[in-house]
Structures are given as structure tokens and as C-alpha cells.
């Protein structure tokens, strides 16, 4: 690669191509700003058009080239922050077609399969851990971090473009907006832009929780900052970072910091990390001069608190106001196209519920679903989720054999408690499952994809402990017509810095007849059944209702408008943002 000795403001050498692109992005942003100020319309020059193309072209997600992440775990009451990082998982067969590998016979209860070795050229299909069976069309859909499927390409809306312009222009931005306005979508594009503006290794992608970090291929905010759980005094946290060459280097190397799901970070931690950044980078600027790209919706679930703990919303942090050049509230909802439903959701988001909205919601008592797929039940508490999933599994055809998969754990295994991947998962034919890792975006095998177990392979050697006579599960996903996939084990690791301290190998599946509201935040679901009379948390009713695309996909078993809770500080914050 040609390298010319030019440096960016973080003293890193830029390639000529990176430098030119960065300069053109800045020029475009300036030209647009000037055009806006003079009330005229910008007619882009060819080179500006190239920049527009970069920022508005759909993201081709290549989850396998991005670092993958590991989640320490979550529970209903607590989301455990974890270190996450790339994990080369065990070698797995390539993505192959039915005619090359497997022939199955579904006539009888059992499975008959013949397996040929895939030819070497087929192995170039890539490292997908699922083996396709069946002959249906290749999936053309792609999924975003939330496993939201898109069958057509999206282009940024004007307000989303404004965010991208600011990002190009090296401005620090806070992007908020109601559920489904494309915060995740625009964040993915912003990261893409940042990696052209700066050297990609200087762009740090983080999220408040391990699960959210997992979804965007990043690390946790805590892990980036190198402050452990951040309870010590700010001066001690600076010492902690300065004593570690690696942590210090990370701060010095960074040029841009992305933080997703900011609503789960509290004000005190945010101020402390700002202090650390200024001290370590010897700068008076916010976070030591990093460009910040921050997203989240404070009307959704708040920071997890232990009993007796009082955490303040991050927007009340002392440094918050000086952190951003632009605070942008996205208003165009993409998840739902039904204007009536969007209006109802907007009411509930702000803690209101008119008589008309209550009546309409209470009329959502029936639902139509694809054959064999039941609506996902959302529960406020995890105990109910586990009970429902176990009951449903037991009620499947008793003659269909169930197979239990025990994870293979290594290292400091107590650190794997509460991991996203279960220590043990039992499946049977007919079980409704959900993928918890991106296996192949092109095929729609993304985090959040739902399907049914339709069989098991013949017993084969595996790293997992599988109950006697059991093989790997074969799953038909909701979106994939008659295509079926063999699901193989994946790896989740717990890292301390760059060192792997614990690892779990397990199937990337969970039972999905039921999910907790916490787990579904950020997801799009086609059909949901839920009893919202037992919600207990701020924003919980809103998060649950806003997962579905339309009222046709919603069956409400219970609804109590008094359970719609919104924190008054959040209402005030958004009023101020709107200049009310």
C-alpha cells in the first residue's frame, strides 16, 4: 500500500487514500453547511458525490471480518458488564448446498443422511458455522445488529444524513429518537464513515452492556475505559489506567469513541471516564479530545440498579453539555408503517395513554402466524420466561427425542455464570429457537433470527457433551422458506484486556417461545404475545409494544395503562432538547 507521511490530529500516519477521502468528506460537510446557511441546495461535485455514495450506500456487513464479542452475561435484574473481543471459533464446515453434502429423508420420524466431503472449492464459501440443507432460494435478506431483517436496501433519511454529515465533519454527536427510528442503522453507517475519516484502529466501538456491545461488534464502555467497574475515585481510576501500558496506549491511540445504548450508563461513571480521558491524554477537551458518537433512547429501559442504589441519568453528567456539537432526535419511524400505531407508541413513550389508544390496544386479542411458528411471548421477568420455555418443550410430541447439549467451559469458569449462551440447552423436534450470534448475514442467519428445530444429524464427534444418541440440531428459520441449517457450536470468551480468562463453547441457540423484555430491547419481532399488566420498570411497556411491526402482530393478554411509567427527568430532558 502506498503510504505518504501525513499524519492526522492523533499523529497517526494516513495512507494517501485515507487522507484524500477524509479531506473530501470534510469539504462536503462544509459545502453542505454553507449551502444550508445560505438557503440554497448543494449540487455535489463528482468527488463530493463519491463521499455521498460512501455514506449512503448500504452497509455490507461482514460479521466474520469484524471482531466478534463475548458477553459475560445478563440476568433480569442485572446486566453484567463484560469484556468482549474477537474470538476465532472452532473450525467448522463451510457453507454448502444440499446437492454437495446432505440428503435427508423426512418420511419417517428419524433422519437418514448421506454425507459427502465438500469439494475444496466449495470451502471458499466462507466460515459460516451453519450448513444449509434443502433447496429453497438463497436468503437475500440482511440483518442489522438487532437481527432486524431487511429485504430491500435502505437509504438514510434527511435527518439521518445530517448525522452522517456531522460525523464526517468530526463533530461529536448524540443521536436519540423513539424505537425504530433507525438509531442502530445510522450508527452502523457512522462507524463505517469514521473508519474512513480516521485509521480504523483509532475508532473504538463500545456499548453500555455486553449484550449491546456484542450486537455491534464492539467492546463494553467499561472495558474500553480500563476502569473496571468504575467504583473507585476518579483519581484512582486515572492511576489504574496509567499503570497499565496497554490501557494507556488504548486511550492515546483512540481518535473516535462510539457508545451505543448510552441510556444504561449512569452520570457518575460518564464524568469519571471523561476525567480519565482528559488526564491520560493531557487535554482539557471532552474525553481528552475524542470525537464522540453516542446513541440511545432514555424513554426505553433505564440503567440497571441494585436495590438501594440511586443512579442518575447520564444526561445529568457535568460534562454532558460540552460533550456534543450536535444532539439529534430522529423522528421518522421505520419499524412501523401504520401511522395510527406510531401515534399510539409516541403517546406511550411519553407516559400518556388516551382512551382511544387504550381501547385499540385492548382490542388486540388475536393474531395470525406462519404455520408451525407461535408468537413470541414477552415477559417482564426472566423466571417466567424460563418456566414457559420449559413447559412448552415438555409439551412437544413425547415420542420425539430430546437432546441435551452441555457447554464446554474452560478457564475461570465462574466468570461464565449468566453468559448469553446457556450452560445446558435441551432441544427437541418442534422446539422454537432463536439465534444468539450472527452466523451469516447474507443468509439471514443473524442474531435474533427465529426458527424451529426440524431434526438432528446422525451422532457425530463434537466438542460439546451431547446426550447419548443425539446429533447436532437442524433448524428451519422463519425467513428461510424451506432452507434448513445444521447449527454447530460457537465460542464465547471472557477477556481481561487482551487475555482470555474464560471460554464457553455452546450452540448459538436459545429457546424462543418466550423472551424477557430486557432481552428483546432493540429487536424487531413479527408476532408477539404479552401480558403488560405485570410490568414494573420505567419504559417497559413501551419497549415491549414497540418491538412489533404492526398491531396485526400483537396479542395483548393484559394491559393496564397505569403500568406505563416514564421518569419525569427524562420528559424534561427531551422537552429541553426540543427547545420546549
Ligand X SMILES: Nc1ncnc2c1ncn2[C@@H]1O[C@H](COP(=O)(O)OP(=O)(O)OP(=O)(O)O)[C@@H](O)[C@H]1O
Residues interacting with ligand X, by CB under 6 A? 144, 146, 148, 150, 154-157, 160, 177, 179-185, 297, 334-335, 522, 524, 546
In angstroms, rounded to a whole number, what is the distance separating the alpha carbons of residues 12 and 10? 6
Min separation Cβ 143 and ligand X, Å: 9
Min separation Cβ 229 and ligand X, Å: 25
Min separation Cβ 155 and ligand X, Å: 6
Cite the DSSP H helix spans in 96-244. 158-168, 183-197, 210-216, 221-225, 234-243
Report the Cα 520 to chain-centroid distance in Å: 10
Task: Name the residue among 523, 519, 504, 518 with its Cα closest to residue 422.
Answer: 504
**In which element (H, E) is residue 454 found?**
strand 450-456
Nearer to ligand X, 155 or 366 (CB): 155
**In which element (H, E) is residue 433 found?**
strand 432-435
Min separation Cβ 296 and ligand X, Å: 8
Strand, coil or helix: what is 515? strand
Report the Cα 240 to chain-centroid distance in Å: 30
Min separation Cβ 144 and ligand X, Å: 5
In angstroms, rounded to a whole number, what is the distance separating the alpha carbons of residues 508 and 153? 27
Could you tell me the sign of the dihedral formed by the alpha carbons of 130, 132, 136, 138, in that order? Answer: positive
How many Cβ atoms from other residues are within 10 Å of residue 410's Cβ?
Answer: 14
Based on the number of CB atoms within 10 Å of its own CB, is 400 exposed (0-12), middle (13-18) or buried (19 or more)?
middle
Min separation Cβ 260 and ligand X, Å: 9
End-to-end CA distance of the chain: 52
Min separation Cβ 158 and ligand X, Å: 10
Report the Cα 147 to chain-centroid distance in Å: 8
Nearer to ligand X, 69 or 486 (CB): 69
Strands of the sheet with 256-260, listed across from one edge: 219-220, 203-207, 256-260, 291-295, 173-177, 326-330
Nearer to ligand X, 144 or 219 (CB): 144
Q: Calculate the alpha carbon distances from 130 to 314, 455, 567 in Å.
A: 40, 14, 44
Nearer to ligand X, 313 or 456 (CB): 313
Nearer to ligand X, 25 or 148 (CB): 148
526 neighbors 553 (Cβ within 8 angstroms): yes
Min separation Cβ 469 and ligand X, Å: 41
Nearer to ligand X, 180 or 473 (CB): 180
Q: Which residue is nearest to ligand X (CB)?
A: 182
Nearer to ligand X, 319 or 378 (CB): 378
Nearer to ligand X, 177 or 451 (CB): 177
Min separation Cβ 555 and ligand X, Å: 20
Nearer to ligand X, 405 or 542 (CB): 542
357 neighbors 347 (Cβ within 8 angstroms): yes
In angstroms, rounded to a whole number, what is the distance separating the alpha carbons of residues 14 and 226? 27
301 neighbors 518 (Cβ within 8 angstroms): yes
Min separation Cβ 176 and ligand X, Å: 9
In angstroms, rounded to a whole number, what is the distance separating the alpha carbons of residues 517 and 529? 12
Nearer to ligand X, 408 or 565 (CB): 565
Min separation Cβ 152 and ligand X, Å: 8
**In which element (H, E) is residue 410 found?**
strand 408-411
Nearer to ligand X, 90 or 154 (CB): 154
Amino acid at each position: 500500500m502506498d503510504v505518504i507521511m501525513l499524519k492526522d490530529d492523533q499523529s497517526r500516519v494516513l495512507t494517501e487514500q485515507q487522507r484524500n477521502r477524509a479531506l473530501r468528506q470534510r469539504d462536503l460537510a462544509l459545502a453542505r453547511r454553507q449551502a444550508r446557511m445560505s438557503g440554497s441546495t448543494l449540487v455535489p461535485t463528482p468527488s463530493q458525490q463519491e463521499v455521498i455514495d460512501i455514506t449512503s450506500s448500504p452497509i455490507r456487513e461482514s460479521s466474520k471480518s469484524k471482531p466478534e464479542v463475548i458477553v459475560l452475561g445478563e440476568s433480569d435484574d442485572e446486566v453484567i458488564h463484560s469484556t468482549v473481543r474477537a474470538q476465532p471459533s472452532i473450525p467448522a464446515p463451510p457453507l454448502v448446498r444440499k446437492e454437495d453434502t446432505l440428503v435427508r429423508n423426512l418420511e419417517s420420524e428419524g433422519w437418514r443422511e448421506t454425507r459427502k466431503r465438500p469439494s475444496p472449492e466449495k470451502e471458499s464459501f466462507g466460515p459460516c458455522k451453519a450448513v444449509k440443507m434443502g433447496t429453497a432460494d438463497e436468503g437475500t435478506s440482511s440483518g442489522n445488529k438487532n437481527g432486524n431483517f431487511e429485504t430491500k436496501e435502505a437509504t438514510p433519511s434527511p435527518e439521518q444524513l445530517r448525522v452522517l454529515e456531522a460525523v464526517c465533519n468530526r463533530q461529536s454527536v448524540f443521536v436519540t429518537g423513539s424505537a425504530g427510528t433507525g438509531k442502530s442503522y445510522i450508527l452502523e453507517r457512522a462507524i463505517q464513515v469514521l473508519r474512513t475519516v480516521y485509521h480504523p484502529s483509532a475508532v473504538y466501538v463500545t456499548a453500555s452492556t455486553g449484550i449491546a456491545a456484542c450486537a455491534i461488534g464492539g467492546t463494553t464502555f467499561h472495558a474500553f475505559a480500563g476502569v473496571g467497574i468504575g467504583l473507585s475515585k476518579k483519581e484512582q481510576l486515572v492511576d489504574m489506567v496509567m499503570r497499565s501500558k496497554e490501557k494507556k496506549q488504548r486511550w492515546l491511540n483512540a481518535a473516535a469513541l462510539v457508545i451505543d445504548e448510552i441510556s444504561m450508563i449512569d452520570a457518575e461513571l460518564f464524568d469519571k471516564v471523561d476525567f480519565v480521558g482528559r488526564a491520560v491524554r493531557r487535554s482539557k477537551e471532552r474525553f481528552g479530545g475524542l470525537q464522540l458518537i453516542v446513541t440511545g433512547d432514555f424513554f426505553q429501559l433505564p440503567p440497571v440498579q441494585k436495590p438501594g442504589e440511586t443512579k442518575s441519568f447520564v444526561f445529568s453528567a457535568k460534562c454532558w453539555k460540552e460533550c456534543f456539537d450536535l444532539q439529534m432526535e430522529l423522528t421518522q419511524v421505520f419499524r412501523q408503517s401504520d401511522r395510527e400505531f406510531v401515534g399510539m407508541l409516541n403517546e406511550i413513550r411519553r407516559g400518556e395513554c388516551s382512551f382511544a389508544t387504550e381501547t385499540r390496544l385492548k382490542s388486540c386479542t388475536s393474531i395470525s402466524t406462519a404455520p408451525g411458528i407461535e408468537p413470541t411471548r414477552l415477559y417482564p421477568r426472566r423466571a417466567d420466561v424460563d418456566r414457559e420455555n420449559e413447559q412448552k418443550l415438555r409439551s412437544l410430541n413425547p415420542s420425539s427425542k430430546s437432546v441435551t447439549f452441555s457447554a464446554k467451559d474452560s478457564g475461570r469458569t465462574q466468570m461464565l455464570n449468566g453468559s448469553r449462551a446457556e450452560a445446558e440447552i435441551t432441544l427437541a423436534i418442534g422446539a422454537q429457537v432463536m439465534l444468539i450470534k450472527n452466523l451469516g448475514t447474507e443468509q439471514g442467519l443473524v442474531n435474533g433470527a427465529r426458527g424451529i428445530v426440524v431434526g438432528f444429524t446422525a451422532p457425530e464427534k463434537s466438542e460439546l457433551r451431547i446426550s447419548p444418541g443425539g446429533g447436532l440440531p437442524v433448524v428451519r428459520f422463519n425467513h428461510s422458506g424451506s432452507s434448513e441449517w445444521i447449527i454447530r457450536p460457537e465460542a464465547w470468551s471472557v477477556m481481561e484486556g487482551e487475555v482470555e480468562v474464560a471460554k464457553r463453547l455452546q450452540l448459538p441457540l436459545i429457546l424462543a417461545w418466550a423472551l424477557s423484555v430486557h432481552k428483546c430491547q432493540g429487536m424487531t419481532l413479527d408476532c408477539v404475545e404479552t401480558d403488560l399488566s405485570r410490568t414494573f420498570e420505567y419504559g417497559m411497556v413501551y419497549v415491549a409494544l414497540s418491538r412489533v411491526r404492526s398491531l396485526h402482530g400483537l396479542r395483548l393478554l393484559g394491559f393496564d395503562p397505569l403500568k406505563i411509567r416514564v421518569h419525569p427527568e427524562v420528559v424534561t430532558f427531551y422537552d429541553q432538547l426540543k427547545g420546549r
